[in-house]
Structure 1
Amino acid sequence: MARLDPSPKTLSILDLSHDGRGVARWPDGHAQAGKTVFVSGALPGETVSVQQTARSRHFDEARTLEVLQPSADRVPPRCPHFGTCGGCVLQHLAEDRQIAYKQQVLLDNLQRIGHVAPAAVLPPLRAGAWGYRRKGRFSVRRVEKKDKTLVGFREQDPRFVADLSECHVVVPQLGFKLQALGALVDGLDARRDIPQIEFIAGDAATALVFRHLQPLSAADRERLAGFGQEHGFVIYLQPGGVDSVHPLGADADLAFRLPQWDVTLQFRPLDFIQVNARLNEAMIARALELLEVQPGERVLDLFCGLGNFTLPLARMAGDGAVVGVEGDAGLVARARANAARNGLHTLQFFVADLAQDLVGQPWLKAGFDKLLLDPARAGAIEVLRQLPLKGLKRIVYVSCHPGSLARDAGYLVNEAGWSLRAAGVMDMFPHTAHVESIAVFDPPRRD
């Protein structure tokens, strides 16, 4: 393979890719004229000077050296690490244009993959764009050349850990203490044996989970406990798998409240919760609005997790009218406990792997009027193919991956005869290329 050409080249940016990079083509006169180039740090309509960083058979990659002609949509990034850290890729794009870009990504996926189009496009859901990230994972690496330990997200080149002094999208109680966190790890005997730190924030407590590959010394345990006390974090240790997580001292009351439905959800440090608290509340409200549950109707909530949608649904429809199903037994146990703590004593939850054969599942034959799905990135095609869709009056589908939503929408519309009433995006992850969306389907007409 030929070597990369390090000399600067000038490109005109035509579009944005699904991962937030500018899309261009090598101009006439270039050895690869017409070949697609993905350019980090560039926006549509711009003319930029670039340096090639990678080559493959079908496309090349480059980074922006200088913006020669900026887009009117370009804004100064807030974070000093933007462009190096891989946590955000769109801070240089005005927030209104970010959400418009995500809406177009959703519509393009629906058309290209699912061969469907919504009858209506929902107005995008948005919340605060900064300090929103209440759950995530920092990588940790001791770098001898810098004589320090780095704690942060991966760089845009994922082989490296970004050297962060601050993060403007992580909850403020943690995002501006990254240097202190790095100094803490650097002072531990086990500084080379801690590969990651997970964080999760409830309304009243923020937990840090230190993964460690070797047993910790008494001195290290004291240092970690002292850091937690000084900075207001609850420290957990993870010497092995997920089940090995335990508090270093007192356990935390990790919970968040959904005041609109008088619901409080408790969780464990490694549980899945929606990353953006304010957007989560708006998302629940929209999902319930789209479901339009009427008196006497029964609702099935698939991939229900801790009960993020299930408990608010039960408040609205009655706890005996809602059933939640989830594949993670630990999450189901906590969902049941959450229901009991909130006085929803007849709300039912079941454990089932929704990607497998569901024959014999008791809930599958119970009969429902409305269906809510919130699957992981892989989507819900396996369960949709097995559900008795006949008799359902509406499906609301919450998605964290537009490609799998588009595939599943294609099945519902083109094979099962449903109609895609509306779809729209929700900005769960501002300044990233991540596209969260919601779609509502109506059943076939029975004339």
Structure 2
Amino acid sequence: MSKKRKPLPQGLVEVEIEGLTHEGRGLAHFDGKALFIDNALAGERVRFRYTRLQRRFDEGVAVEILRASPERVAPRCPHFGICGGCSLQHQDPAAQIRTKQETLADVFTRIGKVSPENWLAPLVAGHWGYRRKARLGVKHVIKKGRTLVGFRERGTPYLADLSGCAVLHPAVGERLAVLAEAVGQLSIRDQVPQIEMAVGEAPCVLVFRVMAPPTDTDLAVLQRLGEDHDYHIYLQEGGVDTIRPMPGHQLDLHYDLPRHGVRLEFLPTDFTQVNLELNRLMVDQALDLLDPQPDERVLDLFCGLGNFSLPLARRCADVVGVEADAGLVSRAAANARRNGIDNVRFETADLYGDLAAEPWLRGYYHKALLDPPRSGALEMLDWLPRLGVQRICYVSCYPSTLARDADRLVNGLGYRMVQAGVMDMFPHTAHVESMAIFARSEE
């Protein structure tokens, strides 16, 4: 028999906000218990209402700001606080990135027991309309008599009722209502659970997930949607291998890294960084800090499509890129050929598995670049000194695993953390991307 959930306290409670959590919520205490409060900033005094009771902490949302932080700004989006896509639009962007740097410093101290010798200036780009990749939920809501397209409500499984989105690329962010209207006209509107968007340098691709075959009339609706708004429409009837463009809608998606003379082509569902402007700054900084020399060999782990491998190959003697996804490896090699780069090779390998038999681990590398997923790169770290790696650029999308891995590199393997800093890949969210440079003590 399930335990009954305690009823929420009624009325508003007044508290002082002591700081921000790593998820971007205000931290307070009341009646000896920690509180995590949405729409609150450090130093503020607020009245909040409870939204959830937990054993070790409670949750709430600030509904009255009695004393505002100087960092508080008016959110641009009218849906802020309801939509779960953003959590920090009420904080000035400059303060957001400072908060992220503080988060990184905190986990370095607590988890990694390390600190960089020098802090890098934060990398920042545009704060609005930056997101070029997203998976949007779709739901026809009978009670509303229409279809919704967008992100889920904060803290609930329901889709938010959005008229637009200020962080999505304008090709989609300004046309959510257009997409919703088009889906609402389909006979299979109840069988379209999501739309995936992908924008490179060229027009936008929309991948419609369809759980039932569209009729000829449905295809005509999608054809008009594409023609009217310069969309290239793809359909997905099953797994990613079933994704196909509608007739005449094929598009070779690509993005450019102009400083390095590189163009990378990708498929709509391939992993690419969502923020193209910031990605360019990130690649530039990584190469400047890693400083590959014309006679050096570089190992690029978790290389994906070659986002770092191909620019590296422009500046050094030889690059080996390693990635678990065979499809990405194939497309990385094709990107190298299209760019006329012949001093890079790509290998498929599970970088969390047994690598003892891998031939690329029998070579010598002067430097290495690591760009792992949230799980980090701990399983690979002990190989690096054995391979002769003197300098490492570690690009991270999750500060806790970067801190854990920094502990191993510095306190276990004898590297120094020379530099570290954050990158604002996802403005208005609590997501922290960062970069750290490690060097052998004798460097």
TM-score range, shorter-chain basis? Answer: over 0.9
* Residue 64 in structure 1 maps to residue 68 in structure 2: no
In the alignment, what sits opposite 2:241? 243
Aligned to 1:201, which of 179, 199, 202? 199
Give the secondary structure class of the aligned counterpart of 2:419: strand
Aligned AA (1:270):
T
In the alignment, what sits opposite 1:256? 255
In the alignment, what sits opposite 1:29? none
Structure 2 unpaired stretches of 5+: none
In the alignment, what sits opposite 1:292? 291
In the alignment, what sits opposite 2:271? 272
* Residue 44 in structure 1 maps to residue 42 in structure 2: yes
CA distance in 1, matches of 2:414, 2:308: 27
In the alignment, what sits opposite 2:29? 25
Q: Deviations over 1:223-247 (max 9, x none)?
A: 1111011100100111000111110
In the alignment, what sits opposite 1:419? 416
CA distance in 2, matches of 1:260, 1:199: 26
In the alignment, what sits opposite 2:354? 357
Cα displacement (A) at 1:81: 0.7
Cα displacement (A) at 1:385: 3.1
Q: Deviations over 1:58-112 (max 9, x none)?
A: 1000011111111111001111111111111111101110000000011111111
* Residue 305 in structure 1 maps to residue 307 in structure 2: no
Q: How many residues align?
A: 438
Are 1:235 and 1:249, in contact at CA under 8 Å, matched by a contact in 2? no
Structure 1 pair 409–389 and aligned structure 2 pair: CA distance change class (3 A): farther
Give the secondary structure class of the aligned counterpart of 2:442: coil
Q: How does 1:43-192 map to 2 (within 5 A)?
A: 43-192=41-190
Give the secondary structure class of the aligned counterpart of 2:232: strand
Cα displacement (A) at 1:282: 0.5
In the alignment, what sits opposite 2:380? 383
Aligned AA (1:160):
Y
Aligned to 1:405, which of 395, 402, 405? 402
CA distance in 2, matches of 1:122, 1:406: 16
Are 1:204 and 1:254, in contact at CA under 8 Å, matched by a contact in 2? yes
CA RMSD of aligned residues (A): 1.1
Give the secondary structure class of the aligned counterpart of 2:122: coil
CA distance in 1, matches of 2:112, 2:20: 21
CA distance in 1, matches of 2:95, 2:179: 34
Cα displacement (A) at 1:306: 0.4
TM-score (norm 2): 0.97
Cα displacement (A) at 1:386: 3.8
Are 2:382 and 2:413, in contact at CA under 8 Å, matched by a contact in 1? no
Aligned AA (1:12):
E
Are 1:293 and 1:317, in contact at CA under 8 Å, matched by a contact in 2? yes
Cα displacement (A) at 1:158: 3.4
Structure 1 pair 389–128 and aligned structure 2 pair: CA distance change class (3 A): farther
Are 1:358 and 1:386, in contact at CA under 8 Å, matched by a contact in 2? no
CA distance in 2, matches of 1:388, 1:248: 50
Q: Deviations over 1:129-180 (max 9, x none)?
A: 1110000110111111111111001111231111111111111111100000
Cα displacement (A) at 1:390: 5.5
Report the more deviating stretch, 131-140 or 2-11: 2-11
CA distance in 2, matches of 1:168, 1:249: 31
Structure 1 unpaired stretches of 5+: 27-32
Identity of aligned residues (%): 51
Q: Deviations over 1:303-360 (max 9, x none)?
A: 0000000111111114xx1111111000011000000000012420001111111111
CA distance in 2, matches of 1:389, 1:42: 48
CA distance in 2, matches of 1:200, 1:390: 38
TM-score (norm 1): 0.96
Give the secondary structure class of the aligned counterpart of 2:356: coil
Give the secondary structure class of the aligned counterpart of 1:107: helix
CA distance in 2, matches of 1:404, 1:158: 28
CA distance in 2, matches of 1:216, 1:332: 33
